[in-house]
A and B are shown apart, each in its own frame.
Chain A
Amino acid sequence: MTKDIQISKGAKINIKGSAEKILTDIPSVNSYAIKPDNFFNFTPKMLVKEGEEVSIGTPICFEKNDSRIILVSPVSGIVNKITRGDRRKILEIIIEPDSSNKKISHKVEKIQSLNPEKIKKFLLKTGSWPFIRQRPFNVFADPDITPKSIHISTISSAPLGVDYDFILKNNKEDFQLGINILNTLLPGKVNLFVDKDFQGFFSKIKNANIFRISGPHPSGNVSVQIQKTNPINFGDKVWVIRPEDIVNIAILFSTGIYSCKRTLAISGSSVSNPQYFKTNIGSNLSSILKKLNIDPSIQNRYINGDVFSGIEVQKDGHIDFFNNLVSVIPEGNKYRFFGWVPFFHNKIPSLSRTSFSWLFGRKGYNVDTNLNGEERALVVTGEMEKVFPMDIYPMQLIKACMAGDIEKMEGLGIYEVIPEDFGLIDYSNTSKIEAQEIIKEGIELMIKEIA
């Protein structure tokens, strides 16, 4: 089945520094990290201690509420350090690799003979279960249920978005195998969303409902795609998985070894030769950055993910579990004389017509991290709706979250969104409201109240 979906609301912001299609393999770096914070609503319990030896696939920690869900080591080596924050919260588990390349090998049954229960058990046992995320709320998938649907977005519509067709060009068969495996987990077929203007090999994938999406960001966000095709109702559980993780699962099923490949684009105006790198989840960033030209005289911000919803990371930090993109943009900690005057400083991109920036964007904008103003009371109305393509009143939902009004949040569609859907609202709103933060707190409140 193929169907076209047109998204009209949203915005495409053309930022300088998109990655060129050059792929460099980085098989090994000098340290890896597992970050529990990459998983929303995750309380880790450790299974290893500092100084312990681990192999590829050794369980590192498990989820407090469901001990079947584990995270495993991406590499063989020694657990170097467990960094903790306030109230002994685990922030990072750093693993220093050795050259032995020891791995835990699992016995794989023939794929044809597998039933959903066996597949789930295998994914859980090998530590590959966390690749699957569950809506509402973007949490670990519940292994005991059958999901209503599974959604895969192969579109990265945010600025500096990556090209999954390029990332997975050598793994087409693996991708098809992964789709076939996921298909066994639910009654129907998985939903695959492809870019209508650039479909790549994804449109030729079999055994999937293919939806061709066109339109500006956030058309690539799964929440938007789900709402346009099969919206989440009260009590529904929907699974979401990222394209490269489908390949990781397929490799696991064909080799029996935990696979955590991650192909990254390192992009942004601060990188003079932005390009792709193939490495593993949790890799140390500085080993990769060495291969790039980044002007050392400028203070830069490194972001795991896109500029709207990514997480800031230090230059010597590690990549996150889910991101295929590291954005590098200059910090904007400088003053602008009379910078608020309308129709001045038109080089800064703006969705508002109080600036002529829309005339200057053809070659791409240089952006920085300046807040361009200060937080103010919510005054302007209608601007959030312009960039929010879902059938939800964004400002009212944000206000319901601020007020902690559970019933209203439910009615206004909190089950259908995750914080990243409000990235563009964060960006564009006049009052500099931290919408993603407010929605995140709202979702945390929902989880606490309905659990």
Chain B
Amino acid sequence: MKFLRKKLDDLRYPFRKGGKWEKFAPAINAFDTFLFVPNHTTHKGSHIRDSVDLKRTMSTVIIALLPALIYGIYNSGFQHYSQLDISFTFLDAFIHGSWKILPMIFVSYFVGLTIEFIFAVYRGHEVNEGYLVTGLLIPMIMPIDIPLWMVAISVAFSVVIAKEAFGGTGMNILNPALTARAFAFFAYPTYMSGNKVWVSEATNIDAISGETILGSLAAGEEIKYSVSEMFYGSIPGSIAETSVLYILAGALILIFTGVGSWRIMLSGILGASLVGYLFNLWGANPLMSFSWLNHLLVGGFAFGIVFMATDPVTASQTNKGKWIYGFLIGVFCILIRVFNPAYPEGVFLAILLMNVFAPTIDHYIIEANIKRRRKRWKESTPKII
């Protein structure tokens, strides 16, 4: 370790204060602090500090994403081969999926981190770790056949417009990963919706049809998948959102470590179940009569509520607010699914919508605290001499 440390110290020399490349210090710092937690000590405030930092928090989210990602890679190959009706092994499916998905992840990280580094150097602050999660989320919620250049443009749009334009990590209103998806959705609708994009190579090979469950329902067709398939995730869909089982594994990691808010997840499920149940009672079209329990299993709902809605920056910040925020995401998700067949995938739009309203929810909750305090002051005024 000492050798590596010395090498790094030598490498850093031109980046020191007053050095030749001082301006680019955030870039080398990002690499250095990745390898070593720095030797900084406390100077003011508390003399001891918790071992948790943003790197640790963000890497916990990545760990939580891994089960869904690995299953998503396998499922991409599985969907492709099973529709072709040829025999294949687990490894074949996995390799096919990796071949498609790893380049997307690489492009997403490369483009996103490059922009983050440029902004960090330009603004003279350290590179924030937030993009490590965003950069992995973006490919995970894209259709498998999306061209790499579209991934690159969506990433660039989301990092520049949704994040840096608002002041960088911690300041953004909209979830950057969802903004990337929304951008691609509205800019390249033919690549992002329809019945030909959800299974690998469906556009090129006629034998493959890529209809999702929600797509079939919106089109008024029969669903050919069982409830257990919906739960285990062997259905077409965006790359990593199909398997509720593996998403639940991620949710458990997030809840156990406290990194993801269980309040948002639970209230979101409650909201969606309630509205789904009410529609079941109404039952005017196939989407309405689709069982409320199945509503929770299909589409991006599970993925969205576990990994997207819980993004602390764009969610409500107060605990009470989190209940309301999560609940309304669940409600709007089902409402959009049922009432707007053009967007069967309601959860992404529901989360983006609630991202916009989260500060308002917090505002009223905090105002209530302020009002309560002022009321207490008023009631006590006569006592003051």
Residues of B348-385 at the interface with A, using a CB-CB cut-off of 8 Å, are 366, 369-370, 372-374, 376-377, 380-381, 383-385
Q: How distant is the Cα of A263 from the Cα of B234 in the complex, in angstroms?
A: 70
Which of B291-299, B310-318, B332-340 makes up part of the contact surface? B310-318
A372 near B35 with CB under 8 A, answer: no
B312 near A380 with CB under 8 A, answer: yes
A336 near B50 with CB under 8 A, answer: no
Closest beta carbon of chain A to B253's beta carbon, Å: 10
Contact among B37, B130, B169 with A373 in the assembled complex (CB-CB below 8 Å): B37
Contact among B5, B49, B312 with A370 in the assembled complex (CB-CB below 8 Å): B49
What B residues does A234 contact at CB under 8 A? Answer: 377
Task: Among B257, B312, B373, find the residue whose CB has the most chain A CB atoms closer than 10 A.
Answer: B373
Contact among A332, A342, A368, A436 with B45 in the assembled complex (CB-CB below 8 Å): A436
Contact among A15, A231, A235, A357 with B376 in the assembled complex (CB-CB below 8 Å): A231
Q: How distant is the Cα of A310 from the Cα of B45 in the complex, in angstroms?
A: 8
The reply to whether the CB of A37 lies closer than 8 angstroms to some CB of chain B is no
What A residues does B168 contact at CB under 8 A? Answer: 377
Closest beta carbon of chain A to B139's beta carbon, Å: 22
The reply to whether the CB of A146 lies closer than 8 angstroms to some CB of chain B is yes
Contact among A354, A377, A427 with B128 in the assembled complex (CB-CB below 8 Å): A377
The reply to whether the CB of A280 lies closer than 8 angstroms to some CB of chain B is no
Q: Mark A363-407, 1 if CB is under 8 A from B, else 0.
A: 000011111111111111111010000011101100000000000
B59 near A340 with CB under 8 A, answer: yes
- Give A339's nearest chain B residue, CB to CB: B37
Assuming the contacts A368-B48, A436-B46, asked whether A340 and B169 have C-beta atoms less than 8 A apart, the reply is no
What A residues does B318 contact at CB under 8 A? Answer: 381, 393
Q: Mark A305-346, 1 if CB is under 8 A from B, else 0.
A: 001111010000000000000010101111111111110010
B376 near A233 with CB under 8 A, answer: yes
Q: Mark B312-350, 1 if CB is under 8 A from A, else 0.
A: 110101110010000000000000000000000000000
The reply to whether the CB of A98 lies closer than 8 angstroms to some CB of chain B is no
The reply to whether the CB of B256 lies closer than 8 angstroms to some CB of chain A is yes
B315 near A381 with CB under 8 A, answer: yes
A377 near B169 with CB under 8 A, answer: yes
A426 near B46 with CB under 8 A, answer: yes
What A residues does B376 contact at CB under 8 A? Answer: 231, 233
Contact among A310, A333, A432 with B49 in the assembled complex (CB-CB below 8 Å): A432
A301 near B57 with CB under 8 A, answer: no
Assuming the contacts A342-B60, A379-B313, asked whether A370 and B35 have C-beta atoms less than 8 A apart, the reply is no
Closest beta carbon of chain A to B102's beta carbon, Å: 22
Q: How distant is the Cα of A22 from the Cα of B14 in the complex, in angstroms?
A: 54
Q: How distant is the Cα of A231 from the Cα of B372 in the complex, in angstroms?
A: 12
- Give B1's nearest chain A residue, CB to CB: A337
What B residues does A89 contact at CB under 8 A? Answer: none
- Give B259's nearest chain A residue, CB to CB: A354
Q: How distant is the Cα of A153 from the Cα of B63 in the complex, in angstroms?
A: 45
Q: How distant is the Cα of A432 from the Cα of B46 in the complex, in angstroms?
A: 10
Residues of A413-434 at the interface with B, using a CB-CB cut-off of 8 Å, are 413, 423-424, 426-432, 434
Contact among A336, A369, A393 with B37 in the assembled complex (CB-CB below 8 Å): A336
Residues of B35-69 at the interface with A, using a CB-CB cut-off of 8 Å, are 35-42, 44-57, 59-60, 63
Count of chain A residues near B, Cβ 8 A: 81
What B residues does A309 contact at CB under 8 A? Answer: 45-46
What A residues does B170 contact at CB under 8 A? Answer: 376-379, 431
A374 near B49 with CB under 8 A, answer: no
Closest beta carbon of chain B to A209's beta carbon, Å: 17
B57 near A146 with CB under 8 A, answer: no
The reply to whether the CB of B207 lies closer than 8 angstroms to some CB of chain A is no
B312 near A342 with CB under 8 A, answer: no
Q: How distant is the Cα of A229 from the Cα of B129 in the complex, in angstroms?
A: 42
What A residues does B374 contact at CB under 8 A? Answer: 411
Closest beta carbon of chain A to B34's beta carbon, Å: 8
Assuming the contacts A340-B59, A377-B168, asked whether A430 and B52 have C-beta atoms less than 8 A apart, the reply is yes
Q: How distant is the Cα of A303 from the Cα of B30 in the complex, in angstroms?
A: 32
Contact among B33, B41, B129 with A332 in the assembled complex (CB-CB below 8 Å): B41
Closest beta carbon of chain A to B370's beta carbon, Å: 4
The reply to whether the CB of A109 lies closer than 8 angstroms to some CB of chain B is no
B54 near A431 with CB under 8 A, answer: yes
Since A339-B37, A411-B373, A436-B44 are in contact, a sample of 17 more A-B pairs with Cβ atoms closer than 8 Å, ordered by chain A residue number, is A301-B41, A310-B47, A337-B35, A338-B35, A340-B33, A342-B63, A350-B51, A352-B52, A354-B57, A372-B53, A374-B33, A376-B54, A376-B128, A377-B128, A379-B169, A395-B317, A411-B370
25 pairs, CB–CB < 8 Å, chain A vs chain B: A231-B376, A233-B381, A233-B384, A308-B46, A310-B47, A329-B47, A341-B59, A351-B50, A352-B57, A353-B257, A354-B52, A355-B52, A368-B48, A369-B47, A370-B39, A370-B40, A376-B53, A382-B317, A382-B322, A383-B258, A396-B317, A423-B45, A428-B50, A430-B52, A437-B44
Give residues in A with beta carbon < 8 Å to B. 15, 145-146, 148, 159, 231, 233-236, 301, 303, 307-310, 312, 327, 329, 331-342, 345, 348-355, 357, 367-383, 385, 391-393, 395-396, 408, 411-413, 423-424, 426-432, 434-437
Give residues in B with beta carbon < 8 Å to A. 1, 4-5, 33-42, 44-57, 59-60, 63, 126, 128-130, 168-171, 256-259, 261, 312-313, 315, 317-319, 322, 366, 369-370, 372-374, 376-377, 380-381, 383-385
For the complex of A and B, 3 pairs with smallest distance between CB atoms: A373-B53, A377-B170, A339-B37
